Structure 1
Amino acid sequence: MSKNQKLWTKKEDLFLEEQYGQMTFQRIGEHLNRSKESVNKRIIRLNLRNEENCLRKKWTMEQDTFLKENIDIMNNREIGNHLGKSPSSIATRIKILKLVRKETMRRWTEQEDEYLLKYYGYKSLESISKQLQRSVQALESRLNRLGLYGVKAHTGNITVYELARCLQIDVHTIYKWIQEKGLTHKITRAKTRKFIGIEVSAFWKWAEQNKKLLNFSKIPTNTLVPEPDWVRKQRKYDYYNRPKYEKKQWTEEEDARLWYMFYEEGRTQQEISQLIGRSRHGVQRRLNRLRKKSPKKH
């Protein structure tokens, strides 16, 4: 082992074991600030390829459905990044299912790249997706190719949208914390754009002083790495002591986003729940109530 080689920690190994088979090596490496090759070597050393969570597991019905729905708007690499599979695996599955793309994939233009780089971090990916008429997954793939996706990997910070997604809450809650609760942030410039950056370690320090504002039991383990030791204890405490279903009023803006994403963008209830920080059942119940209020809209 080289003297300068960074040793793997128990936390990194745990994250690797949990995400292997769910995320691509590239994505895992971005989260851990390691190269794809380093991740691959660690997987071999931990003998994970002999476990049940091997990447070569069977395709699920949900994965097949996603492939069929996105084959005409995403390339094999973009689909693979979303499903945690290699481009070659996607190509093989396309042949097995006898799927055919309607037309050649639309190439990215300089104007689209300029718009994406200008507003990434300022606007949500959903908003940019609507403007460019490309899927969110296509945007993430393009940002990866431009070397900008996952702001933390380049600046040590994450955007408010990335933080909201990790915490599974609405992005406006993050802005409220910044304005009213003193959440530390920085205005950062990356190439041709600026964005509000939040350092992960600074966020955890703030969170430790504002524990009542978060339900740690709803924050997936190692979503924001490195995760302090006290978070695990707090997660367990909140699981047993916070109400199982905490009341969270729906706003008019959330209703409008929910309706648009479901009926205009055709997103699934599961996708919407992840984007707005609600449970899938909560999304389903809210849709039912909105349908009763406005039966003519659908």
Structure 2
Amino acid sequence: MPYKRWVKDEIDYLISKYNEKSIIAIADDLNRTKDSVFKKAKRLGLTTELKYWTEKELHFLIEKWGKKSVGFIAKELDRSVTSIRKKANELKLGPERIANGEFLTTGDIGYLLNKNPSLVYRWTRDGMIKGRRLGKKKVFQIRPNHFINFLKDHPNKWCANKARVNLIKPYFYYSNRSNVPEWFINKVENDVR
């Protein structure tokens, strides 16, 4: 594609929309490539410098993931929501809906316990995990306290060695418990041996 000179209207549009739209959306609006838009934005000083994560920020993210919303974490760290999501994904902290949802799905619990979601679905259907059906697709919504009750009542159905224990611990706080109970700590210690 030959070089296409930027005109004043395009530059004004880029400046006005840069913080509102994605580079790809602006590129589509201006009939330009995303590289062209990014390079022009950089020359105009619209892009921000790369901000490296500090140990303190990483610790805060890990500590708050699962207890606070992504928006809250982003505001506290003075970062974008996208930046928080990308770093959480990079650190394998689990899906956002697990971290910030009022309900869990059988897929979420499957992820947390490292079990097949179909197996978790059967447990829920059979009443081992209390949940409610949602919509015609027969998706279950499970409250965190019902998930915790399942862990306590059915310790033979899950293994702490395989489960994502650090992602499960925040659900004790969701379930109005002030700390991780003794039975959970004992289960983790026994399974690790």
TM-score range, shorter chain: 0.3 to 0.5
Bigger-Rg structure (1/2): 2
TM-score with structure 1 setting the length:
0.27
